[in-house]
Amino acid sequence: MIEHLRAYTPFIADLHATYARITAFNTQLLRWQKVQNLVSRETPGDLWTRHILDSLQLLPLIGPNDAPLRVLDIGSGGGFPALPLAIALKSRPVSFQLIESNARKCAFLRAMAREFDLPVTVHTTRIEAVDPQTIGAVDLFTSRALAPLPLLFSYLCRFWGADSRALLHKGRENGEELKTADSAWLYDVLRLPSTTDPDGVILDIRNLRRRA
């Protein structure tokens, strides 16, 4: 499996240390999955590709820049894509804030943040209940399998700043979701093919704002 990470060596400081931490995280996730429904019941045997590599494919889109980066992940669930990214970017000045309403999942997220000494803050609440001042400036938003784009945009816009950007995992319905979102939202978008899902894309969203 370490071979899967070699493509990301320009974006991580230590390939072998990252692989060891990712492998340990995978083990912990499987252990917690036995008592909590952190990911789909059908997928634990394929966690590496369907969840971990699916998350890490954002690394080239984030890029190798060593400038501080403040990431907000909404609807974090079992920690994807935020936790694999936080592990891979551990040596860089990147901080993560995770919003998740399920208290049991938040317990897992906090346990992993402690276990791997990650710069992660977890907010146990609904997205619409979070005070944007509590979050502060956001450089990058991530979200995976949370909500249709029109609703997702309404979540993001409360925290959106002039320099914000979003990298959103979307499935085969992404085209229809974009068409629906166009009625209420203006934005710039790049549709990038997923490296793990032949029907999926990563939407790179910038300049998000409501239509007047």
In the chain, where the domains are located? 2-210
CATH superfamily assigned to domain 2-210: Vaccinia Virus protein VP39 (3.40.50.150)
CA distance 145 to 161: 23
- Please state the rounded mean pLDDT for residues 14-29: 94
Predicted TM-score (pTM) of the model is 0.95
Q: For 30-83, how does the pLDDT look when each residue is reduced to its tens digit (9 = 90+)?
A: 999 888 888 876 555 578 888 999 999 999 999 888 889 999 999 999 999 999
Q: Burial letters for 17-38: b for 16+ Cβ neighbours within 10 Å, e otherwise?
A: ebbebbeebbebbeebbeeeeb
Is 166 in contact with 192 (CB distance < 8 Å)?
Answer: no
Q: How far is CA 190 from the centre of its chain?
A: 17
